[in-house]
Amino acid sequence: MSERPGRDLEATRRALAAWLDQTLSAARDVTVGELNAPGATGFSNDTLFFDLAYTSEAGRVEESLVLRIQPTKNQVFPDYDLGKQIGTMQLLEKTDIPVPRILWYEPDGAALGAPFYVMARIEGRIPTDNPPYHVGGWLPEAPEAERTALWWSAVETLAAIHRLDWRSVGFGFLEEPGGGRVPLAVQLEQYRRYLEWAARGKRHPTCEAALAWLEGHAPAGEPTVLQWGDARIGNMIFRRGRCVAVLDWEMVTIGSPEADLAWFLFLDDHHSRGVGAPRLPGFPSREETIARYSEWTGHEVRHLPYYEAFAAFRFSVIMMRLAQQFVALGLLPEESDFETNNIPSRMLAEMLGLPAPAEAMAALG
């Protein structure tokens, strides 16, 4: 059993079993199996696998499910809207975008100490973040043809998300109340607040300089689509090279399609060049990806370098919070400079011709 830091999995299992027993009021013999954390789970929430069995009027039911619990401390994001994630997935269930089926949502924190939801478990494999999939995990052992198919299926799925008529599907709730500002301006302001919150009164010269550059070079006249927000193959489930589920809608918003494409490409670059490793054979090139994406969406990619800098900046801010979590969990010493000096921040400095993060911090004295 994989134990989540700070969470008693057996106590959580008992509490979940009691909640399900009450929720499935017409069922008998409700049994909740052992909770297990997937090896590649992230730090923005608790993700736990379990098996559920019960007897209904139709007979015995057995399901493999996923429990996701909203974070209550050391959270990655300043605002965490579990209801928005669930609403997004429920809307996408009505489209061709493959997402897990939401079974139950509990907005009250009484049962498990925080709001949570339960969704169906989709069988398949997810490219690993730790180790990065170009270095370890199952992808290096996969056939080259499967890696090629996986990549194109991921790009095809991203293009399908961007082709959605997001207003008619029901995503108008993602628009800024009152309107008046373009989505990019809204996002830059959100990340300015995020940076201030994550920095906790400390300086981060690389992110500060990058934000000033992003605000001063924002492109205009961009189309608005549904943005996944965390678009990457590490948030997809694949079977035999085909995407069968799109996960993690915590960062969903509306804005330029190039923001998602840039995040998709930047995270792949982070998992290869960023860690000093070559891309695996079979993965299509950046140029091929952009061309195929443009063909599938009809969108001419014009401002990708800007949005890749935005991706590096966003990931650098997120890494600040992750570094703080690592220290809190004892995974890093308190004197570590990982909060400001990490792969995304070094890549960000390189992109914009800024001093290396370690040098920038040293210059502050």
Longest dimension (CA), the chain: 71
Which pLDDT value is given to residue 152? 98
What is the pLDDT confidence band of residue 299, given thresholds at 50, 70 and 90?
Answer: very high
CATH architecture of 9-120: 2-Layer Sandwich (3.30)
Which pLDDT value is given to residue 178? 79
Query: What tens digit of pLDDT does each residue of 27-64 get?
Result: 899 999 999 988 654 555 689 999 999 998 888 999 99
345, amino acid identity: S
Which pLDDT value is given to residue 40? 52
What pTM was computed for the model? 0.94
Instruction: Characterise 178 by phi-psi region: left (phi > 0), alpha (psi -120 to 50), beta (else).
Output: left
Report the 10 Å Cβ neighbour count for 74: 16
More confident residue, 338 or 365: 338
Report the 10 Å Cβ neighbour count for 67: 23
What is the pLDDT confidence band of residue 22, given thresholds at 50, 70 and 90?
Answer: very high
- Closest by CA to 23, choosing from 111, 99, 94, is 111
What is the pLDDT confidence band of residue 71, given thresholds at 50, 70 and 90?
Answer: confident
The residue-averaged pLDDT of 71-83 equals: 85
* Residue 213 and residue 309 in contact, taking contact as beta carbons nearer than 8 Å: yes
- Name the class of domain 139-363: alpha beta
pLDDT over 80 (residue 263)? yes
Q: 119 by DSSP, 3-state: which?
A: strand
Instruction: Please provide residue 27's backbone torsions phi and psi, each rounded to the nearest 5 degrees.
Output: -90, 160
pLDDT over 70 (residue 209)? yes
More confident residue, 139 or 72: 139
The domain segmentation of the chain, as residue ranges, is 9-120, 139-363
The residue-averaged pLDDT of 135-139 equals: 96
The residue-averaged pLDDT of 62-76 equals: 90
Query: What tens digit of pLDDT does each residue of 192-201 get?
Result: 999 999 999 9
Q: What does DSSP assign to residue 123?
A: P
More confident residue, 228 or 56: 228
The residue-averaged pLDDT of 216-228 equals: 96
- Closest by CA to 140, choosing from 271, 244, 288, is 271
Which pLDDT value is given to residue 75? 85
pLDDT over 90 (residue 12)? yes
Which pLDDT value is given to residue 365? 74
- Closest by CA to 244, choosing from 131, 121, 134, 159, is 121
Which pLDDT value is given to residue 39? 64
Please state which of the ranges 40-44, 142-146, 155-159 shows the lowest mean pLDDT: 40-44
Which pLDDT value is given to residue 2? 35
What is the pLDDT confidence band of residue 25, given thresholds at 50, 70 and 90?
Answer: confident
What is the pLDDT confidence band of residue 5, given thresholds at 50, 70 and 90?
Answer: low
